[in-house]
Amino acid sequence: MTTVTGAYDEAVAHTAQNLLVIAPPGCGKTELLARRAALLIPMLSPNQRILALTFSNKAKANLTGRLIEILGAERTRKYVSIHNFHGHAAEIVRAHGRTLGLDPHFAMPDKRSQSDAIAPLLDGLSENDAGELSRRIGEDLRDAKQRPRDDSDVLEALALHGISQSIEIESARQKAAKLYYDDLLRHAQRLIRVPEIAFLYRKHYGAMLVDEFQDLSPQQLDLALRSCEQSRTFVGDPLQGIYSWTGARPIDVERRLRKISGEPVDLGVSYRSSPRVLKLLNLVSVGLGGQALQPDNPADWFEEGISAGAKFSTGSEEAAFIEQASALILDKRPSATIGVICRSAWRRKPIDAVFAVSSLPTTRWDLAVDDARVIELLNAATTRLGGNPSIESLKTEVLARIDATDVDTTADVADALDHLEDLAAETGSVRDALKQFRVLDEGDTAIGPGVHLLNAHTGKGQQFDWVFIPGFEQGNIPSFFAKKQSEIDEEHRVLLVMLSRARHGVVLSRADSLISKKGRPYPTTVSPWVNEVRTGLVTDQVGLLDHVARMPELPS
C-alpha cells in the first residue's frame, strides 16, 4: 500500500500510458505536472513536444511559471505547448478549418457575442424572467454544440429542444458566418476526428498534461484524448467540480478516465494550508465523501493558523470588519495576500463599496483592467500609436500583438477597452484614463500583496494567505438558484473550493440582515451547512483580531 507521502513520488515517476491523479486542494498539483514534464522530455521522439492543457489564463500562467522554475525558460519554450482548451481548439480550426469549409482567417469569437445576441430577446421581461430565459437559451445552445455536429445538425438538435429563440440566434449566427465561443470546440472536435488530422497531432505531441480533469466536458475529453496517445496525465479532484453549467461532467469524465487509466494515484498531503484551515476543510471534504488531508510540517504555522466564524447585524458591518481585519493583517505583514471571496457577485456589493474608498491596495478580479498583463498591453499599444488614440485604433493595435488562438486574453482586452472607453469619456482622453490604472512592477507575483475581491469561480486554482468568505447564508451559500439535489451538491463543492484557497487563515461570516434592491432591509437565514463547519471554527471575530495582533511582524 502506497503511503500518502509516497503517492506523490509515485505519481511523478509513473510510466504507464495513461495516469490519473486525484489531487485534493493544496496537494501540489501544479508542481506535480511540472515535474512530470521534466521526466517526460527525455522520452520524446525528435521534434515532439508536450501538450499542456488548462482552463483559464490564470491557470495557464501558474503552470507556465512552475514549468519555467523546473525546466528553465528555454526548455519550456522548446518542449512544452501550453494552451487553454479554447486556445487548443482555435489552433486546430485555424490550421485545418478549410477541411470543413471554414475560413482559416476567421475572426476570433468574443466570449460575450452569444450573450449580446440574446440580450434583445429579453426586452420587456422582468429581471427574473429575463435571467431565466437567458439561462435556458444559453444552456440550449451549449448542449446542441457539445457534439461534433455541423451547422445543419445543430439546428436540427435545437428544433428538437423546442426553444424558438435558440433557433433564431443560431440561424442569425450561421447567416452572418460568425463563430461563437462554443463553436470553436465543436469544429475542433469535428476536425480531430478526421484520421489524417488526428495522426498529425499524435505525431507532434509525444505527451500530454491535463490540469483539473473534473472541469472537462465529454467534448473536451474527446478532444484531448485524440490529440495525444503516447503518455497522458490527468490531474484533478472530483470534489472541486463546480462547472457543470459550462458543460463539465465530473462523474462521467472520471468514470471514463478510470476505465482507460486504472486505479488513480491519490494524494493526501496538503502543502498549502495550515492545520486550522485544514481541519475546517476536512469537515466539508468528508461531508462530500472525500478524504481528510494531512498538513505538511504543521509546526511551521504560527499558532497552527486560524479559522474563525463571525456574525454581524448588517452587510455593511460585515464589510467594515473585513476591511479593518485586512488593514491589521497588512500592517503586520505587508506582503500578505488576502482573498475576499463571495459565492455571488450580488452579495459582494457591501464589500465592494467599502474597499472602493479604502486606502488598502485592492484588486477587483471581475474588472479586466486590474489584470496587469492587459494593462501592459494597453499602455504599450498607446505608446506605439502616440498622441491620443481612439478606442478603435487602440483595439486594432492591441489585438494585432496577441496570439490569434488566445481567446481568453482577447476577451479580457475587450472588457478592458469597455471600461477604458467609459473612463476616457470622463477624463477626456484615452491616455489620461490609462494613467488611472495600476501597473504591477516587474517581478511581482501573479497575485500581488493586498486585498483581492473575487467571486467563487474566479478564484479556482488560486491561493491567498488569508481568505474571507462573507455571506454564509441560505440563498448565497448555497445559491438560491440551486433547486435540484445535483445543483445543491455542486454548491457544497463550491464551498469546499472557497475554503481551500486559504493558506494561513480563513474566516466565514454572515449578516443578520441585508438591503434589498429597493433599499429595504430584510432578514437572512444562516447556511444549512453551519452544523457541518461549526466544530472547525476555533474562534470569532474578536479572537481573530487577537491572533493577528500576536503575529510577529514581517518586513515588506
381, with CB counted inside 10 A (0-12, 13-18, 19+), is buried
Mean pLDDT value across residues 280-288: 95
Kindly report, residue by residue over 144-191, the tens digit of the pLDDT: 999 999 999 999 999 998 899 999 999 999 999 999 989 999 999 999
More reliable by pLDDT, 401 or 302: 302
Q: What does pLDDT average to over the chain?
A: 90
Q: What is the pLDDT of residue 8?
A: 86
The answer on pLDDT for 467 being more than 60 is yes
Going by C-beta distance under 8 Å and a sequence separation of 6 or more, which residues neighbour residue 77?
none
Closest CA to 364 of 380, 343, 341, 347: 341
The answer on pLDDT for 444 being more than 60 is no
More reliable by pLDDT, 110 or 72: 72
Q: What is the pLDDT of residue 370?
A: 59
Which range has the top average pLDDT, 346-350, 359-363, 407-411, 545-549?
Answer: 545-549
C-alpha cell at 58: 490564470
Share of the chain above pLDDT 70, in %: 95
Q: Which long-range contacts (CB under 8 A, 24 or more apart) does 191-194 make?
A: 191/92, 191/93, 191/96, 191/97, 191/99, 191/100, 192/92, 192/222, 192/223, 192/226, 192/227, 193/148, 193/226, 194/96, 194/99
Q: What is the pLDDT of residue 291?
A: 87
Q: What is the pLDDT of residue 379?
A: 85
The answer on pLDDT for 282 being more than 50 is yes
pLDDT-derived band of residue 398, with 50, 70 and 90 as boundaries?
A: confident
Going by C-beta distance under 8 Å and a sequence separation of 6 or more, which residues neighbour residue 371?
412, 416
Query: Where are the alpha helices (H) located in 262-386, listed in sequence order?
Result: 275-287, 315-332, 349-356, 372-385
Kindly report, residue by residue over 374-390, the tens digit of the pLDDT: 888 888 888 888 888 88
Closest CA to 543 of 313, 310, 335: 310
Beta pairing, strands 18-22 & 502-515: unpaired
Closest CA to 273 of 59, 536, 1: 536
Kindly report, residue by residue over 409-433, the tens digit of the pLDDT: 777 787 778 778 877 777 778 888 7
Number of residues in the chain: 556
Q: What is the pLDDT of residue 246?
A: 80
pLDDT-derived band of residue 445, with 50, 70 and 90 as boundaries?
A: very low
Alpha-carbon distances of 25 from 17, 464, 523, 524, rounded to whole Å: 25, 13, 34, 30
Q: What is the pLDDT of residue 1?
A: 33
Beta pairing, strands 80-84 & 205-211: unpaired
Mean pLDDT value across residues 95-102: 93
More reliable by pLDDT, 112 or 331: 331
Kindly report, residue by residue over 4-53, the tens digit of the pLDDT: 457 888 889 988 899 999 999 889 999 999 999 999 999 999 999 999 99
Residue 420 to residue 13: CA distance in whole angstroms = 48
pLDDT-derived band of residue 443, with 50, 70 and 90 as boundaries?
A: very low
This prediction has a pTM of 0.83
Residue 356 to residue 371: CA distance in whole angstroms = 17
Mean pLDDT value across residues 499-515: 97
Mean pLDDT value across residues 438-467: 76
Mean pLDDT value across residues 294-309: 95
More reliable by pLDDT, 115 or 147: 147
pLDDT-derived band of residue 405, with 50, 70 and 90 as boundaries?
A: low
Alpha-carbon distances of 397 from 376, 377, 439, rounded to whole Å: 13, 9, 19
Q: What is the pLDDT of residue 2?
A: 42
pLDDT-derived band of residue 556, with 50, 70 and 90 as boundaries?
A: low
C-alpha cell at 253: 469524465
